[in-house]
Amino acid sequence: MAMRLSPIARAALLANLVAPGLLAADKPNVVVIFCDDLGYGDLGCFGHPTIATPSLDRMAREGQKWMSFYSAAPVCTPSRAGLMTGRYPIRSGMCSNKRGVLFPDSGGGLPASEVTIAELLKEQDYATCCIGKWHLGHQKQFLPMRHGFDEWFGIPYSNDMHVKRRGDPAVPLMRGDEVVEQPANQNTLTKRYTEEAVAFIDRNKEKPFFLYFAHTFPHIPLFASTDFRGKSRRGLYGDVVEELDWSVGRVLDKLRQEKIDKKTLVVFTSDNGPWLVMRLRGGSAGLLRDGKGTTWEGGMREPTIFWWPGRIEAGSTESGMGSTLDLLPTIASLCGALTPKDRQLDGHDLSATLFGDAPSPRDTMFFYRGTRLHAVRHGQWKAHFWTRGWRQRKLNQHETPLLFHLDLDPSESWNVAAKQKKNVATLTALAEAHSKTVQPVVNQLEVQLEKR
Amino acid sequence: MAMRLSPIARAALLANLVAPGLLAADKPNVVVIFCDDLGYGDLGCFGHPTIATPSLDRMAREGQKWMSFYSAAPVCTPSRAGLMTGRYPIRSGMCSNKRGVLFPDSGGGLPASEVTIAELLKEQDYATCCIGKWHLGHQKQFLPMRHGFDEWFGIPYSNDMHVKRRGDPAVPLMRGDEVVEQPANQNTLTKRYTEEAVAFIDRNKEKPFFLYFAHTFPHIPLFASTDFRGKSRRGLYGDVVEELDWSVGRVLDKLRQEKIDKKTLVVFTSDNGPWLVMRLRGGSAGLLRDGKGTTWEGGMREPTIFWWPGRIEAGSTESGMGSTLDLLPTIASLCGALTPKDRQLDGHDLSATLFGDAPSPRDTMFFYRGTRLHAVRHGQWKAHFWTRGWRQRKLNQHETPLLFHLDLDPSESWNVAAKQKKNVATLTALAEAHSKTVQPVVNQLEVQLEKR
């Protein structure tokens, strides 16, 4: 086994993990398909009227829709850091109030001391592959190969990050540490990513594998291949989502063809809600309020599907809470890995909910924007201490937090704080207790390169 | 065959119809399940996060979701008149600007001269049954039995129409022309309706039948039986919708048990959008704008499912336009009935779209509020000449109509009239041409009883 763990991560693993020793044949494959800026309302199976998503609709018919599944943050970099580590991004220094995400001139990235899903699975002899957008640091020491992945093919940050006045280079397409195309031809990215994904599955069908498939789209600027351009009723945005849908279908078909569908967990979700400021070039949060960059539900609740034929009940729906923060502990538990014990994890093992009738173990979710804790949800209640909608320039602090009952009022329309003082107090106390668990760390998003 | 057609309807039928003579064995059964005030976003398969609708989700998995299916009007009485006759309610005098719907002191109703779906199917030897809310006239001459139904069990108008200061009687529950319970015990209405529906199917399983199953709920006041009360995460509203979902499951199960599912078309839809002024006691229009009583999409676009195992492609989605106005011609075509030729019909036969790949024949929809033509949709474009949202007291006339591209912008967020003058002109001309086809008739909603 070619170990590519960072020294610190390796030490953490050796010190803190005891592999429970699943036999290789019992180790399931894991595929995480992660979109960029996809809205809660953008899929047919989540109610969109004019975006045709037959593959995702079928995935939902054969799997389980999660209706209250949160990304770890409302923007790209911190959201990805949360998924990869199972920890709120504030713990790894991967969020900032000055710079929401990493930019081409950023010098920081996900610290080597963090333990990623890929690292955990490498310890369990998994083949690990990252395809698509990384955005957890593009200096060499932060690239996917330093964080547990055997292979990477994709772009290092967002596809719009080539601002001339800032001196940004054209967006590169990379394989491992090498730039293979610059500018990346974005028209064919989804198609090429998909071919890479299918080829990776083909090469590794005899052993357990982990594929983290992080699409570049529907982040703006939008591109679709000629097969999809002009095809959707929903214009270019729909074309792009329909190509993503096709891609999901190709991956699931490959698993079926190789007869490994019954030993593969596939998760589909997104990094944050729709980019509403882009109007019709952005997506729809459906019935949820607001979108990307905000801590309203539309900013962080994602259209999510879990699929594992034979293990997950076909056509089922889960209304309990989940989060991308839960993927690390869930995957670790399924794959026979133990999670690190020397640090605060924020995820829960969702297995008993996915495979049985157990209620979700997640009862609380914290909503950060940058390093500021904006809101907390506990059970059905969500309290907002700070809000800023996409139409607002100003951040609003709420001396009396806003309170919404999300089960009754998923659209966050009716603030009931005045009548629910006890619940406001409970949620405020939860937020305070949580904040005490947060330790100061280097802010990776504010580390700039000394020169360009 | 016991003919119960009104004399005028009978004459119209005899004069204008030539039955194409389907053999009885080839005549499919038809079940129309019609909810009251259900929002576009209120079902799991249309994206609601906390209302559990496993039976409707299964119906969608086995059938076809229509994503752009309109009721004939944004309130109860005119919507039902449109469904029953295949004609905009303004043609039958069943809409008004003074009284939106029929009230207990109303003397009018659906004129005997109108030809209903039930009358067409009676001519074809169908057993016909109306279960649930009628609301097309509660004077004896207007009741379901005078409009082609062999049987009726239900309430004559809305379940909230017992306003004391107006001198309304308690809401009656009727069987045929007789009041069998007053006030109707609304807690068990959905359950009893469902038992009646299953019994009707059981009695008529050997011959073709038409069941018009018009639920009383989720119109407010909300009631659910003890089996459902307190069950839903979405509170009482969710309890009520989950009981409706159970009811749908019972009906489809009965069809499967009797092995007549493959010869039965079932349609599920609603009369208008959610009653937003009722806040959390009303439903959700999902990503659509506004709700009941308005001509925004949320007022008239309904969550609609067509189901016919073996005929309709399982798990499919239709994005083309349809309307409850289309049910009469579609059902007539399937059941071997001809539609009356002596009057303007506003519906289209959707069969080729339901059973094949043909695009929907409906390319235009007119949106009335009362007798005023508020808006028109043609293809993807919708022009609003008048608007009034649920939060607004005032009716707004738009000298330059508002224009939205509904395929790109289903939420009607971005008025593009300024850049689309030609489309505005086209839609304005369509509205004017349509208005010329409307003949003056007696306004049935303004006919009051002389004394109480």
The per-residue pLDDT for B100 is 96
pLDDT interval class at B23 (50, 70, 90) = confident
A21 pLDDT above the threshold of 80:
no
The model's pLDDT over B328-363, given as tens digits with 9 standing for 90+, comes to: 999 999 999 999 999 999 999 999 999 999 999 999
Show residues of chain A in contact with B290, CB under 8 Å.
none
Q: Tell me if A68 and B57 make a contact (CB, 8 A cut-off).
A: no
Q: Are A320 and A362 in contact (CB under 8 A)?
A: yes
Average of per-residue pLDDT across B166-182: 96
**Alpha-carbon dihedral of residues A334, A338, A342, A347, nearest 10 degrees?**
10
B452 touches chain A (CB under 8 A): no
Average of per-residue pLDDT across B179-189: 98
- Please give the model's pTM, rounded to 2 decimal places: 0.94
- CATH architecture of the domain A25-356 equals 3-Layer(aba) Sandwich (3.40)
The model's pLDDT over B382-433, given as tens digits with 9 standing for 90+, comes to: 999 999 999 998 999 999 999 999 999 999 999 999 999 999 999 999 999 9
| Pairwise pLDDT comparison (A22 vs B10), residue with the higher score | A22
Show residues of chain A in contact with B407, CB under 8 Å.
50, 233-235
B21 pLDDT above the threshold of 70:
no
A201 pLDDT above the threshold of 50:
yes
Average of per-residue pLDDT across A27-43: 98
Residue of B38, B43, B46, B405 to mutate, interface with A, max A Cβ within 10 Å: B46
The model's pLDDT over B193-205, given as tens digits with 9 standing for 90+, comes to: 999 999 999 999 9
Q: Tell me if B47 and A68 make a contact (CB, 8 A cut-off).
A: no
- d(CA A176, CA B319) in angstroms, rounded, equals 42
B13 pLDDT above the threshold of 90:
no
Q: Which of B47, B233, B280 is nearest residue A287 as measured by Cβ atoms?
A: B47
Identify whether B135 is a catalytic site residue: yes
Q: Tell me if B52 and A317 make a contact (CB, 8 A cut-off).
A: yes
The model's pLDDT over A100-147, given as tens digits with 9 standing for 90+, comes to: 999 999 999 999 999 999 999 999 999 999 999 999 999 999 999 999
pLDDT interval class at A2 (50, 70, 90) = very low
- CATH architecture of the domain B366-446 equals 2-Layer Sandwich (3.30)
A359 touches chain B (CB under 8 A): no
- d(CA A116, CA A129) in angstroms, rounded, equals 13
Best CA proximity match to B366, nearest among B428, B318, B417, B451 = B428
The per-residue pLDDT for A22 is 75
- d(CA B292, CA B390) in angstroms, rounded, equals 8
A442 pLDDT above the threshold of 60:
yes
The per-residue pLDDT for A25 is 77
Show residues of chain B in contact with A48, CB under 8 Å.
47, 67, 287, 410
The per-residue pLDDT for B422 is 98
Show residues of chain A in contact with B279, CB under 8 Å.
413-414
The per-residue pLDDT for B12 is 54
B309 touches chain A (CB under 8 A): no
The model's pLDDT over B431-445, given as tens digits with 9 standing for 90+, comes to: 999 999 999 999 999
Identify whether B398 is a catalytic site residue: no
Out of A48, A135, A219, A384, the active site residue is: A135
The model's pLDDT over A150-162, given as tens digits with 9 standing for 90+, comes to: 999 999 999 999 9
Q: Which of A49, A411, A414 is nearest residue B319 as measured by Cβ atoms?
A: A49
Average of per-residue pLDDT across A417-427: 98
Give the H/E segment covering residue A364: strand A364-369
Stated length of chain B: 452
Best CA proximity match to A299, nearest among A394, A398, A408, A390 = A390
The per-residue pLDDT for B4 is 52
What are the boundaries of each domain within chain A? 25-356, 366-446
ipTM, 2 dp: 0.93
Question: Which letter does DSSP use for residue A440 in this model?
Answer: P
Q: How many CB atoms lie within 10 A of CB A163?
A: 11
Q: Tell me if B410 and A284 make a contact (CB, 8 A cut-off).
A: yes
For A13, A263, B129, B160, the CA distances from A124, given in Å and listed in that order, are 11, 16, 64, 63
B54 touches chain A (CB under 8 A): yes
Out of B76, B95, B129, B130, the active site residue is: B76
A451 pLDDT above the threshold of 70:
no
Distance from CA of A243 to the nearest CA of B (A): 17
Q: Tell me if A54 and B279 make a contact (CB, 8 A cut-off).
A: no
Q: Which of A41, A233, A279 is nearest residue B47 as measured by Cβ atoms?
A: A41
What SS3 string covers chain B?
Answer: CCCCCCHHHHHHHHHHCCCCCCCHHHCCEEEEEEECCCCCCCCHHHCCCCCCCHHHHHHHHHCEEEEEEECCCCCHHHHHHHHHHCCCHHHCCCCCCCCCCCCCCECCCCCCCCCCHHHHHHHCCCEEEEEECCCCCCCHHHCHHHHCCCEEEECCCCCCCCCHHHCCCCCCEEECCEEEECCCCHHHHHHHHHHHHHHHHHHCCCCCEEEEEECCCCCCCCCCCCCCCCCCCCHHHHHHHHHHHHHHHHHHHHHHHCCCHHHEEEEEEECCCCCHHHHHHCCCCCCCCCCCCCCCHHHHEEEEEEECCCCCCCCEEEEEEEEHHHHHHHHHHHHCCCCCCCCCCCCCCCHHHHHCCCCCCCCEEEEEECCEEEEEEECCEEEEEEECCCCCCCCEEEEEEEEEECCCCCCCCCCCHHHCHHHHHHHHHHHHHHHHCCCCCCCHHHCECCCC
The per-residue pLDDT for A354 is 98
Average of per-residue pLDDT across B130-135: 98
pLDDT interval class at B450 (50, 70, 90) = confident
Show residues of chain B in contact with A380, CB under 8 Å.
233
> For chain A, how big is the Rg over CA atoms in Å?
20
- CATH architecture of the domain B27-359 equals 3-Layer(aba) Sandwich (3.40)
Q: Cis link prior to A28 (omega < 30° from 0)?
A: no
Residue in B with minimal Cα distance to A54 = B316
The model's pLDDT over A248-305, given as tens digits with 9 standing for 90+, comes to: 999 999 999 999 999 999 999 999 999 999 999 999 999 999 999 999 999 999 999 9
B366-446 shares the fold of B27-359: no
Residues A310-335, buried b or exposed e (16+ Cβ, 10 A)? ebbbebbbbbbbbbbbbbbbbbbbbb
Average pLDDT across chain A, whole number: 95
Best CA proximity match to A250, nearest among A287, A196, A302, A303 = A196
Q: Are A276 and A282 in contact (CB under 8 A)?
A: yes
